[in-house]
């Protein structure tokens, strides 16, 4: 495997995968503050030194895991796919991804680390909105409108996960796409 033109040692990939899997398993059972590096390394079957070769601390690990999942979500809504599928169908793709990773997202929104996760998610949503063609209406400052929509979408997604509206996925995706379409030209 190559990363930015460099070959990445498979052992590194395997180690990082084990560390991430161990951390995700632990976060499902414990608050982030209760998880120690020793718990992660024991579960991943690695030494502490190996952990610190790859991550600064557990919060760095969590941030990288969140970034990885948000990156995967970003791939689900790339511009070409959105144009091919249509906005509502690509919004449904988001909810399908959230459903596939429901336990992790629910745990992240519920945990004490929720503030950090919410901020990262908010930035991600804002970046996705900026990629869209144009915002409708010039009377409202563009940044205010982007912030408003970012908070609204993040709030709807948090509500979807926290209240477990998976059975209403199609309806929630449709309603959200209508709200966003009213503010974007797509």
CATH of residue 171's domain is: 1.10.357.10
Range of the domain at 94: 67-185
Neighbouring residues of 92: CB distance < 8 A, sequence distance ≥ 6: 169, 170, 173
Average pLDDT over all residues of the chain: 86
Is 26 inside any structural domain?
yes
Residues 71, 36, single domain; the answer is: no
Predicted local distance difference test score (pLDDT) of residue 112: 74
pTM exceeds cut of 0.75? yes
Give the number of other Cβ atoms within 10 Å of residue 54's Cβ: 15
Domain tally for the chain?
2
pLDDT band at 144 (very low <50, low <70, confident <90, very high): confident
Which has the higher per-residue pLDDT, 165 or 115?
165
Residues 87, 16, single domain; the answer is: no
Is 18 inside any structural domain?
yes
The 3-state DSSP class for residue 140 equals coil
Predicted local distance difference test score (pLDDT) of residue 141: 72
Residues 92, 117, single domain; the answer is: yes
Is 103 inside any structural domain?
yes
* Beta pairing class for 184-185 and 134-135: antiparallel
In this predicted model, what pLDDT tens digit does every residue of 63-119 receive, in sequence order?
A: 999 999 999 998 887 766 666 777 788 888 889 999 999 999 999 888 877 788 889
Contact 117, 66 (CB under 8 A): yes
Contact 109, 156 (CB under 8 A): no
Which of 59, 26, 61 minimizes the C-alpha distance to 42?
Answer: 26
Residues 40, 72, single domain; the answer is: no
Contact 69, 47 (CB under 8 A): no
Residues 76, 141, single domain; the answer is: yes
Mean pLDDT of 134-154: 76
Residues 28, 7, single domain; the answer is: yes
CATH number of the domain to which 35 belongs: 1.10.10.60
Residues 93, 37, single domain; the answer is: no
Alpha helices in the chain (DSSP H): 10-29, 37-44, 48-54, 58-76, 79-85, 87-100, 102-110, 114-131, 142-162, 169-181
pLDDT at 62 over 50: yes
Q: What percentage of the chain exceeds 70 in pLDDT?
A: 88
The 3-state DSSP class for residue 7 equals strand
């Amino acid at each position: 495997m190559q990363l930015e033109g460099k070959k990445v040692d498979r052992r590194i990939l395997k180690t990082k995968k084990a560390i991430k899997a161990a951390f995700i398993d632990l976060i499902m059972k414990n608050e982030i503050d209760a998880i120690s590096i020793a718990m992660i390394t024991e579960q991943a079957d690695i030494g502490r030194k190996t952990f610190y070769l790859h991550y600064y601390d557990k919060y760095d690990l969590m941030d990288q895991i969140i970034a990885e999942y948000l990156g995967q979500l970003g791939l689900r809504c790339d511009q070409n796919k959105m144009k091919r599928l249509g906005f509502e169908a690509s919004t449904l793709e988001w909810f399908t991804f959230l459903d596939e990773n429901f336990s992790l997202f629910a745990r992240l929104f519920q945990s004490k680390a929720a503030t950090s996760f919410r901020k990262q998610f908010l930035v991600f949503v804002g970046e996705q909105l900026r990629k869209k063609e144009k915002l409708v209406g010039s009377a409202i400052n563009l940044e205010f409108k982007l912030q408003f929509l970012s908070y609204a979408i993040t709030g709807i997604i948090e509500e979807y996960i926290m209240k477990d509206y998976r059975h209403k996925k199609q309806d929630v995706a449709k309603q959200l796409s209508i709200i966003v379409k009213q503010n974007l030209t797509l």
